[in-house]
């Protein structure tokens, strides 16, 4: 029982990342009809917003420490962040320590702009082209973006830790009456799950309870009629692209303490996120979220030792197996709308 609870918890944080990326993918597909293979790159750019803010906050002046030597035997140059010398070691240090949560504020305008620029600069030219063309151009864009990031940040993962207050793990097992250490779960992963919940709720509330969201939903259902009513639906869809980019970016920002970001982290999530979208049902926002969590948890279960002993390698293929089963039995996906991608 404790092992099952443990893997459900493990699946939640990965499922959160899948759900957030798939949510953005579905928003773009549902509004603009574009299959965006560069969406993983947006997740990666979000993560590198956190890296960039961390680097900005730790820009340092060099102070020579004559008591120590560097690797060549010269007096050691110690780096002291400007922010610590301006605001004092404790407050300045706290700002640096909280660089990942602070990066949310840093990333939102950047991601909105990146999304806007991507849509206006490139993707809008492919609206009327076949999906294969859209996939090729966005996949190419993803490769370009990751190579640009690699050029500036290198190929190695860059450690971007969570604030000190969120280090360590919580013993769920002890709380539920199991043995100590039976079910432990890192604090930051809990934060990630809650954060994902807030973002997902925010997007749904935005679409459900605002006039803007109502128009977008109407446009998703029947773009032509909304256009005939004199509403500039294209402009709203462009904003939705920016919003989807921001969702992916924020998912990336908060993911950095879980796994040190590197330039190809977007690709690692991209294919799985597409499977999530297809399983959830193309164009269905609740479907994308539900499938994200479902597949995240199933993936965690498949990596349990006794399951791997029965079916070796199941952890690597479980998501695809589930996708095949669901598409065979329910071709529209879990919550797919009738008529979407069916012609």
Binding positions for other proteins, rule: CB under 8 A = 2-3, 6-7, 9-11, 13-14, 68, 70-72, 76, 78, 150, 154-159, 161, 167-169, 179, 181-182, 184-186, 188-189, 257-260, 262, 264-265, 268, 299-300, 303-305, 308, 315-316
The CB-of-142 to other proteins minimum distance in angstroms stands at 15
**CB-wise, 289 or 300, nearer to other proteins?**
300
The CB-of-129 to other proteins minimum distance in angstroms stands at 30
The CB-of-84 to other proteins minimum distance in angstroms stands at 17
**CB-wise, 133 or 179, nearer to other proteins?**
179
The CB-of-257 to other proteins minimum distance in angstroms stands at 8
Enumerate residues 6+ apart whose C-beta is below 8 A from 118.
38, 141, 241, 245
Distances (CA, A) of 127 to 34, 162, 225, 273, 338: 7, 40, 18, 22, 21
**CB-wise, 139 or 301, nearer to other proteins?**
301
**CB-wise, 54 or 238, nearer to other proteins?**
54
CB 11 within 8 A of CB 300: yes
Enter the tokens of residue 191: 């934060």
The CB-of-121 to other proteins minimum distance in angstroms stands at 26
**CB-wise, 84 or 299, nearer to other proteins?**
299
The CB-of-33 to other proteins minimum distance in angstroms stands at 31
- CA angle centred on 138, ends 297 and 140, rounded to 5°: 110
**CB-wise, 88 or 154, nearer to other proteins?**
154
Q: How far apart are CA 63 and CA 60, in angstroms?
A: 9
Outline where 122-222 has alpha helix (H).
Answer: 131-153, 172-175, 187-209, 211-221
The CB-of-318 to other proteins minimum distance in angstroms stands at 11
Q: How far apart are CA 223 and CA 226, in angstroms?
A: 5
CB 260 within 8 A of CB 107: no
**CB-wise, 76 or 122, nearer to other proteins?**
76
Strands of the chain, DSSP E: 60-69, 75-81, 169-171, 184-186
């Amino acid at each position: 029982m404790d092992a099952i609870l443990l893997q459900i918890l493990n699946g939640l944080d990965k499922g959160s990342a899948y759900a957030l990326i798939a949510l953005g993918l579905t928003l773009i597909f549902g509004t603009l009809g574009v299959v965006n293979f560069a969406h993983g790159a947006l997740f990666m750019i979000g993560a590198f917003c956190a890296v960039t803010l961390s680097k900005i906050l730790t820009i340092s002046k060099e102070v020579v420490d004559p008591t120590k030597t560097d690797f060549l035997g010269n007096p050691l140059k110690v780096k002291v962040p400007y922010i610590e010398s301006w605001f004092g070691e404790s407050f300045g240090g706290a700002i640096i320590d909280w660089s990942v949560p602070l990066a949310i504020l840093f990333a939102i305008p950047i991601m909105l702009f990146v999304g806007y620029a991507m849509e206006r600069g490139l993707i809008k030219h492919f609206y009327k082209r076949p999906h294969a063309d859209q996939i090729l151009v966005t996949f190419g864009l993803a490769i370009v973006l990751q190579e640009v990031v690699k050029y500036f940040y290198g190929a190695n993962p860059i450690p971007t830790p969570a604030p000190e207050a969120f280090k360590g793990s919580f013993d769920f097992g002890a709380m539920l009456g199991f043995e100590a250490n039976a079910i432990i779960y890192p604090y930051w992963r809990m934060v990630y799950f809650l954060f994902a919940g807030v973002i997902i709720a925010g997007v749904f509330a935005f679409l459900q309870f605002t006039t803007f969201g109502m128009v977008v939903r109407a446009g998703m259902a029947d773009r032509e009629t909304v256009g005939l009513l004199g509403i500039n639906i294209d402009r709203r869809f462009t904003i939705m692209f920016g919003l989807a980019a921001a969702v992916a970016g924020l998912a990336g920002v908060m993911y950095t303490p879980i796994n040190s970001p590197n330039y190809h982290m977007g690709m690692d999530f991209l294919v799985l996120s597409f499977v999530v979208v297809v399983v959830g049902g193309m164009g269905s926002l609740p479907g994308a979220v539900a499938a994200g969590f479902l597949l995240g948890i199933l993936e965690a279960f498949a990596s349990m030792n006794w399951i791997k002993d029965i079916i070796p390698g199941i952890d690597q293929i479980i998501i695809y197996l589930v996708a095949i089963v669901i598409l065979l039995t329910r071709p529209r996906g879990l919550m797919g709308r009738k008529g979407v991608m069916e012609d």
